[in-house]
Structure 1
Amino acid sequence: MTVLNTELTRRFGLRLPVLAGGLMWLADADYVAAAAHAGGIGFLTAASFPEDDALRCEISRARDLCAGKAFGVNVSMLPKLVPGDRTDTVFRIAAEEGVKVIETSGRNPEPYMPLLRELGLTVIHKVPAVRYALKAQSVGVDMVAIVGAECGGHPGLDMIGSFVNAAMAGRDLDIPFLIGGGVGHGSQIVAALAMGAAGVVMGTRLLVAEEINAHPNYKHAIAHASERDTALTMSSVRNTVRTLANETTEAVTQLETDNPGVTISELMPLVSGKIGRKAYETGDVSKGLLSAGHALGLANAVTPMAEIFDHLEQEALAALGRINDIQSPAQGAA
């Protein structure tokens, strides 16, 4: 049953207006199926499956596990993750495998819009600030997800907070929008909807879901971290990233401080995605850039995805109750 009625819940038949964002190396078929059955919509990360056959197989597995419930595919159009000459192929594979919605990010989707329309895909474009959302709206995307400075992963260069993004988006956008970045509580869902959003994007809050295929020690570390346990690095190469603070973030910060002209190739031995992937496999969170945002303060226990969504629903209903309590009685009411 739909708890909050928005464009997102109506379009995809959701219980809650929550998009479970694509998590590099972690957003697989089990993740999107858990989100789907809990009442949200999850996005499998295409870049985690660089071989076409592997991607096709994982989408097929997700389709079977979701059993008719909606899920999507996240396509980062950053060349280092999904090379430009493969992006078209990823879109085609997704459509051929029955996917109906794509989450794009990384650069302007305009060159791909004719193909995406031809394939009949709904396009949710993810951006770090409203100014980019306005551009995405102008090129014809269906929705935008605006993920603010509090997010894990890449918050962009403007570093605009989610609360400000939400208010500006409600004022400036005509298409449905979602708000992410530090979102991990049901009251935040209600706040976003009150400012005009059709839903929210969550990533960090869901890292403690039992269905996440990562080492228990990794999830234990996330559950015991606080909102103060993140670090921003790589701003020197205009690729700012917010991750779990650890030995790697200290080393990268030192390198960027000592050498302001540092290049991405010089940073790569420390920041390679392969190092982070190893942490998910081994549970050693001391090394690697492990995306995590301020919602660490709201992810306090490893639980099934369904239980996380149950808590979100209860929190959202409590927030709605508080709003009802503070509303003035209608004029003339007894």
Structure 2
Amino acid sequence: MSPADPALNTALTRAYGLRLPIVAGGLQWLAEAQYVSAAARAGVLPFLTAASFPDPDDLRAEIRRTRDMAESRAFGVNVSMLPKLVPGEKTADVFRLIIDEGITVVETSGRNPEPYLPLLKDAGVTVLHKVPSVRYAVKAQSVGVDMVSVVGAECGGHPGMDLIGSMVNLALAERRLTIPFLIGGGIGAGSQIVAALAAGAVGVVIGTRFLVAQELQAHGGYQQALTAASELDTALTMSSVRNTIRTLKNETTQTVARLEADNPQIGIEELMPHVAGAIGRKAYETGDTSHGMLSAGQSLGLTDRVAPFKDIVAQLEAEALIALARLRPS
């Protein structure tokens, strides 16, 4: 598999045999074998989410299941190093399992991966570290990661405290980084891929746009809520506990925003009854999106229908080719 246009051929596509220079970032509870293998077959680089499989045997089984379904296409594993998701004493064990299963690329996030780099590099594993702004990317570069992805304020999930937009991150990354970098946050159109490549990125990170992939193991009501939403239907909360998150607006975001406004010193313990991951997970199972912190970015404005993953990728490619044609003399 190779890109349809030489301009879309980057170090990322060459390394992993991709159709488009796109990483489908790890999605808590949702990035499992069916979704990841569909993304791989469609020609992008996806990641299973290790934190969704806290039992090592389950993670190992999911890696093998994905490999069986991916038809020899590349995929990796996302390891969030936040202690509440993957306890620190177990993180090295997760990496050893990944290495043992022959995975050659990992997506890390949450904190500095430096303690684990010798283990990963000795095994020949490529480390793509995800950060919320370029200043953290510079630090990641200094400790020796292979690539960084910088996700801007528009992204779903955790955009960090700086809230720097993707276009600014893109220009700063070009100036300050020497290792390959990707840009994420609000990416959901092929023209944005071309813009990122023009500014020096080797690819883009896409999350929200792929939440309406038919292969996603989530209730149809959840996906229909996403297609009905627009770029105006997200909310930023939890900055009071320095864990800013962008999610779909709903009753929970209204409640959390009110609690934070009433008590700026509120602690995570008081918020947890509303923001616990188990609440949001129910939305994926029941289709009721009125409660829970449901990560979603501003590219909701581009999620117009539920479609097979390969069709979404084909649309992104067609849009990218149109954008490239605009730049070339007729």
On whether the aligned pair clears a TM of 0.5, the verdict is yes
The code of the aligned residue for 1:125 comes to H
TM normalised by structure 2 equals 0.98
Count residues with an aligned counterpart. 326
Measure how far apart 1:320 and its partner are: 0.2
Q: Mind listing any 5+ residue stretches in structure 2 that lack a counterpart? A: none
Match of 1:51 among 52, 55, 62: 55
- AA of the residue aligned to 2:299: A
CA distance in 2, matches of 1:86, 1:284: 34
Distance in 1 between residues matched to 2:167 and 2:22, nearest whole Å: 17
Deviation at 1:116, TM superposition (A): 1.1
Conserved? CA contact 2:190–2:319, under 8 Å: yes
Q: Does 1:176 align with 2:180?
A: yes
Query: What residue number does 2:193 align with?
Result: 189
> What is the root-mean-square deviation in Å for CA atoms of aligned residues?
0.8
Q: Which residue of 2 aligns with 1:130?
A: 134
What amino acid sits opposite 1:148 in the alignment? G
Distance 2:35 2:75 in 1: 10
2:3 counterpart residue number = 2
Aligned mates of 2:3, 2:70 — CA distance in 1: 18
Whether 1:117 aligns to 2:118 is no
Q: How does 1:120-269 map to 2 (within 5 A)?
A: 120-269=124-273
Partners of 1:124 and 1:54 lie apart in 2 by 23
What residue is the counterpart of 1:329 in the other structure?
none
Identity over aligned pairs, percent: 67
In the alignment, is residue 30 of structure 1 matched against residue 31 of structure 2?
A: no
Q: Does 2:302 correspond to 1:298?
A: yes
In 2, the alpha carbon distance for the partners of 1:299 and 1:191 equals 20
Residue equivalent to 2:71: 67
Kindly indicate whether the alpha-carbon contact (under 8 Å) linking 1:92 and 1:119 is maintained by their aligned counterparts in 2.
Answer: no
Kept after mapping to 2: 8 A contact 1:103/1:125 = yes
Structure 1 position 271 matched with structure 2 position 268: no
- For structure 1, the 5+ residue unaligned runs are 327-334
Query: Could you give the per-residue CA deviations for residues 262-299 of structure 1, whole angstroms, max 9, x where no partner exists?
Result: 10011000000000111100000000000000010011
Does structure 1 retain, via aligned residues, the 8 Å contact 2:99–2:120? no
Taking the aligned partners of 2:33 and 2:103, their CA distance within structure 1 comes to 13
Residue range with higher mean Cα deviation, 63-72 or 147-156: 63-72
Distance 1:189 1:6 in 2: 12
Q: What SS class does the counterpart of residue 178 from structure 1 fall into?
A: strand
- 1:331 is matched with which residue? none
What is aligned with 2:19?
Answer: 15
Is 1:84 the counterpart of 2:88? The answer is yes
Distance apart, 1:21 and its partner CA? 0.7
Using the TM superposition, give the Cα deviation of residue 119 of structure 1 relative to its aligned residue in structure 2, in angstroms.
Answer: 2.3
How big is the shift at 1:306? 0.3
Q: What does the per-residue CA deviation read over 1:26-60, in whole Å, with 9 as the maximum and x for residues that have no partner? A: 00011111111111010001001111111111011
Q: Distance in 2 between matches of 1:266 and 1:46?
A: 28
Amino acid at match of 2:3: T
SS at match of 2:328: helix
TM superposition outliers: structure 1 runs of 4+ over 4 Å: none
Partner of 1:332: none
CA distance in 1, matches of 2:318, 2:261: 45
Partner SS for 2:205? strand
- Once the 2 structures are TM-superposed, how far is the Cα of residue 2 of structure 1 from its aligned partner? 1.9
In the aligned structure 2, how far is the partner of 1:132 from the partner of 1:140?
Answer: 13
Structure 1 residues 228 and 325, CA gap change in structure 2 (3 angstroms): farther
Instruction: Report the Cα distance in structure 1 between the residues aligned to 2:329 and 2:231, rounded to whole angstroms.
Output: 30
User: What is the alpha-carbon distance in structure 2 between the residues aligned to residue 196 and residue 280 of structure 1?
Assistant: 36
- Kept after mapping to 2: 8 A contact 1:147/1:181: yes
SS of equivalent to 1:35:
helix
Residue 154 of structure 1 aligns to a residue whose secondary structure is coil
